[in-house]
Homo-oligomer: A and B are copies of this chain.
Amino acid sequence: MTERKPRADAARNREAVLAAADALFARCESPAAVTMADIAAAAGVGKATLFRGFGDRTGLIHALYEARLAPVRRAAEEGPPPLGPSTPPSERVPALLDAVLCFKLDHRHLALALEGTGGDSPYAAGHYTLWHGTLRDALDRVPGLADSDFTAHALLAATRADLVEHLVGHEGRTREEIRASLAAFTARVLHVPAPPH
């Protein structure tokens, strides 16, 4: 058995830390304004508990992001259409992108914290590789579309957290406007005429 049963208080603290971090990132303007000490204080634990449980700051952010992303990820991996794998590509590609976009809209503060971690690029993170791979595979099945790898990168780039933040915060776009824009852009890339709506 490589599995070790974690102690009860450790699990409880882990959840408290994730909840406190989520709340703090949501409340504060910039992710950089949230310090490890802040999170520890808000969770009612010592600083060392953070680092023991998550390694370092980026580890904590990754864990938090991953925890919130899990439902969407599962819906895309094994859920029903239009997100699940049984969906035809021309329908699944827009659905996947819309799901990513909605997640980033709902969790802008987390996405900003993750992508703005500085040192390590967001393209090294596991979840990016997953989205990119899923999208690439779907694009491979779209007739007449070459270079699915770059296309997947480019489409995902249109959902970058700081771009979304800019659209919402500085250009004053609403959630539905942005979703419509991305859908139209995606349709254009897929060579499907946009629905008149």
Report A's interface with B, CB cutoff 8 A. Answer: 30, 32, 116, 118-119, 121-124, 146-147, 149-151, 153-154, 157-158, 160, 162-163, 165-167, 170-171, 178, 181-182, 184-185, 188-189, 191
Contact = CB atoms under 8 A, between A and B. Distances in A.
Contacts of A119: 30, 32, 116
Contact of A158 (B116, B157, B162, B170): B157
Given A184-B146, A188-B189, A158 B163 contact: no
A118 B167 CA distance: 18
A121 B170 CA distance: 11
Q: How many copies does the complex hold?
A: 2
User: Taking each of A146, A149, A162, which has the highest tally of chain B beta carbons within 10 Å of its own beta carbon?
Assistant: A162
Contact of A151 (B32, B162, B185): B185
B162 A153 contact: no
Contacts of A158: 153-154, 157-158
A170 B121 CA distance: 11
B157 A163 contact: yes
Given A157-B163, A163-B157, A32 B150 contact: no
A112 to B, nearest CB: 8
Given A118-B116, A188-B191, A191-B188, A123 B157 contact: no
Contacts of A189: 185, 188-189
Given A147-B181, A191-B188, A123 B166 contact: yes
B123 A184 contact: no
Nearest to A159: B157
A189 B158 CA distance: 13
Contact of A185 (B118, B154, B162, B171): B154
A158 to B, nearest CB: 4
A123 B162 CA distance: 8
Nearest to A189: B188
A102 to B, nearest CB: 16
